[in-house]
Chains A and B, each alone.
Chain A
């Protein structure tokens, strides 16, 4: 079967750095997405990786290792507004997104 695993919840301090991990087992791989979802709102796109390595976009970076079925999202200089759920999703061989359950990130002052 297809499976995406992420930690359920993480806590970090304002101004710090946090890494959210995602491991996956899917039928085929056509890229990995990270989305942010604030409570009660719709998911919004953060990043896309299809090749191994690190993609940096401002305070957010995303890393992919296809051989290990592993990705992480790195958030730097955490702000209170970063409190949200972070969703990992893999595009499978049918070009459908398989979603993880999300990691709820709590930022403390």
Chain B
């Protein structure tokens, strides 16, 4: 499985944008980029995913580099509820499996 690299932790202030980076230099052409987050004492929650183009949904935006070797999850206005561990995961088109790393622990300051 192609691997991802994320910072161990990041901090943000409430109501400010947050950019969470992810490097995936060995990504293959059929790998989708997924982001999940895990709030304390809860199961992982889907955030967003994409293949080549930038994606937006009600929770966040996903910016994918042109060479697809990196991506950025963008939370437009962080809230205290966004404090969580964020996982960047690559998953092939026919592969149901999600391989979780340690993710990025996001702290949001009031």
User: Are A and B co-members of a single complex?
Assistant: no
Chain B interface residues (CB < 8 Å from chain A): none
